Structure 1
Amino acid sequence: MDQNNIEMIDTELYDQSSDQNYEYDMEQGIDPKKVITRVGLALFAMGFVSQLFQVVINTILTRFLPEVPETNWYIWLLTSVTIIGIGLPVFYLLVRKIPDSPKGEKVKLKISHFLGIFLVCAGAMYLSNLFGTIINFLISLLKGDDIANPALDAMSNNNFAITFLYVALIAPIVEEIIFRKLLLEKLRRFGDIPAMLLSGIAFGLYHMNLAQFVYASVLGIIFAYVVLKTNTIKYTIVLHMMINAMGTSFLPLVSDQNYIAIILMPIWVFTAIIVGILLFVLNRKQIVFHKSSYPIQKSVYILNAGTILFSLFCIIIIVAVTIWG
């Protein structure tokens, strides 16, 4: 990584001081609890309407055109229509009147720095996925059956080209717009750490299955940090695409008993974890968080109607998928 580039990202965060931002927001009548509640309600509405749409469409097609749900393109077309035509518009309409947070100018990353961030992301994903796999294994022992992984099943049983198009291209763009642009722009005024945690955990919960929750949350937090430091989502879109493309590409090779892939996969995973940890440790002192001037109690982030409703909705679906999926 380029040391000067790291320092530039950490120091060129905002053009205005946090006190000036706070005073400006007070003039605009910004109420932290109302903003966080509204964001949570928007997340809930997005998830609820999206799930309802999928259930209704799937029920109608299963009844009248049963051959359509059996095709190898159906699940990705339904998911694409849902996230682009339902989820994104609903979330945008519900948060658009919330004023955006003040932020600094866009910061350009050098290629070496970007690749370093990618390795940190890959290492963090594999390490957190290992932790999530252990949790799933323990639950499966108690359950007496395997835990469902809807995403893995969908990627394994559907057309590769269509799967790659959605997972590696469409989903990263739309999800970054929702969770790292729209959501962060509303919450970053309350400080980096709360914004990162809320964005990352909401991203993990929105996957609505236990298998993806842990590593998606970890990646969501890292992606949020990158956006907060660069003031653009273009880097996280590419990072997201690269991460998803790896999983989509390796899976069919391993499933088809491709021995080269089977040998290279664990080597890559181990290398990514070690290098990612080393890069993080070596640069940990450069990680700086902007603190908010808002006098907000920590409980406000969790104990509000929006956050509670969205969390309960996702947890109920996660539990249902875990038990009956």
Structure 2
Amino acid sequence: MERTAKQTFSAVGLAFFTYIAVSFVMQIIFAMVIYSMVDIHNPPSWAMWISSVVPMYCIAFPIFIIMIKRVPTEPFVETRTLGFGGWLKFFVLTEFAMVAGSIVASSVGKIFERVNVNTNATMESLTSTNSVLAPIVLVILAPIIEEFLYRKFLIDRLHVYGGKVAVVTSAAMFALFHGNFSQVFYTFLMGLVWGYVYYKTGKVIYTIIMHMLVNLGGSVVAVYLINNLNRFDLSHMDMAALISYPEALFAMVGILLYALIIFGLAIAGLVCFIVGFKNRSYSQERLELPKEGRVATVCLNVGMILFLLGCVAQFVLSIFNGLIK
């Protein structure tokens, strides 16, 4: 059984490594072609999105599907349907995971700042553009494709070796795939929530909607509110000036309301986590891996090692990208 499991994890890891490698190579080629046709000193905002998204979603993703389809799937032992109340419980858990992970990322970012590295550089480059493609990619395309990648295609093939193994592996690979320290912590925690939801329901639509809402809030709404507030020099405004300048006041109120909503949802998620933690459960799977040697079986194989090396390379590139001048 251990040999079969290693072969499965290796095949899965190789498919994901190929997705990363093909995306990287094709992004370089697309960037060279696209940026040779535009003003390199003032490139249009669509250039970055086309050169990064088309290679990933139109070239690497189909190749990934061909490879992952060779790995057999097995039906879930049992699944259930989530009502709105159940879905909402896991959504607030998602918000708690996002806030908790972001706090950890902020702490790590402060450590890196001491050596002049900006760990938010990758996210800043993604959210700084005002291209109409940004919300389409971040709110629609990315959630759909990433949920199929890291929930459906992955957990469908790994849960037979243990539900917990599949969920944790899914969350870890999802987090490492993002390749930067500003996202790795909260994506791992959210991945645990979403992986569990998919494992218990077998319906990826639940996690796609959660993913879309999180990206809408964090990558579109929050960015718009922050950019809107940054238009004003608040350092020279007292309360009287703010009241007499309604646009600045509304911008500040918008930020405060957004923060209250997010932290309110996160607190509700913390309560759900404390109350429901003991109620989590995993079915007994046909090829359940023993606890002893479980990590070695999952990680110490050619495919997973290549995937980890590919992710490490992305982290190194993000560090170089984040060097503070």
Do the structures match in fold with TM over 0.5? Answer: yes
The CA distance in 1 between the partners of 2:76 and 2:117, in whole Å, is 49
2:118 to 146, 149, 163: 146
Determine the C-alpha separation between the residues in 2 that align with 1:177 and 1:295. 24
Unaligned runs of 5+ in 2: 230-250
Q: Find 1:254's aligned residue among 200, 213, 226.
A: 226
Aligned-pair RMSD on alpha carbons?
2.1
Answer yes or no: is the 8 Å Cα contact 1:69–1:75 preserved in 2.
no
| 1:170-181 to 2 correspondences below 5 Å | 170-181=141-152
Match of 1:134 in 2: 107
Equivalent residue pairs, number: 296
- Establish whether residue 195 from structure 1 lines up as the match of residue 166 from structure 2: yes
Tell me how far apart the structure 2 counterparts of residues 118 and 154 of structure 1 sit (CA, whole Å): 24
Residue in 1 that maps onto 2:236: none
Q: Would you say 1:322 and 2:319 are equivalent positions?
A: yes
SS at match of 1:99: coil
Partner of 2:239: none
Shift of 1:145: 4.2
- Say yes or no: does 1:163 pair with 2:150: no
Name the CA distance, whole Å, in 1 between partners of 2:5 and 2:64: 19
- What residue number does 2:209 align with? 238
2:266 alignment counterpart:
273
Given that residues 35 and 43 in structure 2 are in contact (C-alpha distance below 8 angstroms), is that contact kept between their aligned partners in structure 1? no
1:211 correspondence with 2:208: no
Query: Which whole-Å CA distance do the structure 2 matches of 1:291 and 1:222 have between them?
Result: 20
Cα offsets for 1:114-146 (capped at 9, x unmatched): 1111111011111111101111111111x1243
| Cα distance between partner residues in 2 of 1:290 and 1:213 | 28
Tell me if structure 2 keeps the 8 A contact 1:148–1:322.
no
Q: TM-score, normalised by structure 1?
A: 0.85
CA deviation string 1:70-92 (max 9, x = no partner) = 11222223333123212321211
In the alignment, the residues of structure 2 paired with residue 172 and residue 69 of structure 1 have an alpha-carbon distance, to the nearest angstrom, of: 30
The corresponding residue for 1:34 is 7
Determine whether 1:224 maps to 2:217: no
Counterpart of 2:298 in structure 1 is: 301
Quick one: which amino acid aligns to residue 51 of structure 2? L
1:124-183 residue CA offsets vs partner (Å, 9 max, x unmatched) = 111111101111111111x12433432332212232x32111111111111111111111
Amino acid at match of 1:96: K
TM superposition shift of 1:265? 2.9
Unmatched segments (≥5 aa) in structure 1 = 1-25
Tell me the distance in 1 between the aligned counterparts of 2:316 and 2:171.
20
Is the CA contact 1:46–1:91 (under 8 Å) kept in the aligned structure 2? yes
Given the alignment, which residue of 84, 87, 100 partners 1:114?
87
Question: Max radius of gyration: which structure?
Answer: 2
Show CA shifts across 1:222-267 (max 9, x none): 1111000001101001111111111121211122102122212332
Give the TM-score normalised by the residue count of structure 2: 0.85
| Deviation digits for residues 279-303 of structure 1 (CA, Å, limit 9, x no counterpart) | 1111122201234444552111111
Q: Percent identity?
A: 25
Give the letter for the 1:167 counterpart: L
